[in-house]
Homo-oligomer: A and B are copies of this chain.
């Protein structure tokens, strides 16, 4: 059994929240661990609507300081306090977010009931932020009007499963079993060799989720993202508005699909749609002509990240 790895979309729109669509926020669940990626205005209300338990969130990752990606943060932090949260919370975000939070808590004279840690992200390079036993989270740079980072969540190899028929053939020392499950060959004191390749089942490909919130088309992403299982890439515009994408440092659906090809992604999730598009089917078609495994992110929908 591999742990569940999935993302629930809480908001899929950019700029002005219209057509019943909300600002960017996503909850990534890996096993028991819940991470919040960006937090637009109304995220706590969306969580309640879609029955996402906000209390389970342990880490929040903010990509950049445009309001549509963080203005829901203070509301969630305040509600945690009102519900007397005690579980620690860590927020990763760009320089400035700490000042924005502490300024508001200072004026509201708020004493938090839970330990809150703020970690400033670096706007360049691939940087590890979280080293969990079963996954890692890295930041990587995006190219936007403000310092912006994407986030990459990568599954780690778990314990290997042993071949049952081999266990029946001969007695295997406990130390060998432990070594093999950890993916290491073992030799006992008599020189008997137990090879991982003989004794364990092949492992499934490790899964990853790459989150590119706001960015222009940026081929340098290939330096950081290799074969992501699921690539979320912003798709603010369609090709007919490509000039607008250039000026605002955003991408078109076609560019998002080209990026999925370039990175050899297994599948692509589009989001951050401009309010100028009421219907989104044509946008999806635009992406699909370039990258067949494209999908529109829908609010309230959960996307499994499968090997």
Contacts and interface: CB of A to CB of B under 8 A. Distances in A.
A237 to B, nearest CB: 15
B103 A107 contact: no
Given A100-B104, A103-B99, A104-B67, A48 B18 contact: yes
Interface stretch (A77-85, A176-184, A189-197, A285-293): A77-85
A100 B67 CA distance: 13
| Listed residue (A44, A71, A83) with the most chain B CB atoms within 10 angstroms of its CB | A71
A15 interface: yes
A65 B109 CA distance: 9
A199 B108 CA distance: 55
Count this chain's copies in the assembly. Answer: 2
Contacts of A74: 67, 71
Given A104-B100, A108-B65, A79 B16 contact: yes
A44 B17 contact: yes
A155 interface: no
Interface in A86-104: 96-97, 99-100, 103-104
B109 A41 contact: no
A109 B146 contact: yes
A22 B48 CA distance: 12
Contact of A71 (B15, B18, B75, B106): B75
B44 A83 contact: no
A22 B45 CA distance: 9
A78 B23 CA distance: 13
Interface in A15-32: 15-18, 22
Interface in A102-152: 103-104, 106-109, 145-146
Contacts of A45: 17, 22, 41-42
A78 B83 contact: no
Contacts of A16: 44, 79, 82-83
A75 B65 CA distance: 12
Interface string A1-40: 0000000000000011110001000000000000000000
Contact of A41 (B65, B72, B108, B145): B72
Contacts of A156: none
Interface in A34-80: 41-42, 44-45, 48, 65-68, 71-72, 74-75, 78-79
A133 to B, nearest CB: 33
A104 to B, nearest CB: 6
23 contacts: A15-B82, A16-B44, A16-B82, A16-B83, A17-B79, A18-B48, A41-B41, A41-B42, A41-B75, A42-B42, A42-B45, A65-B104, A65-B107, A65-B108, A66-B108, A67-B75, A67-B108, A68-B78, A71-B75, A96-B106, A99-B107, A100-B104, A109-B145
Interface of A: 15-18, 22, 41-42, 44-45, 48, 65-68, 71-72, 74-75, 78-79, 82-83, 96-97, 99-100, 103-104, 106-109, 145-146
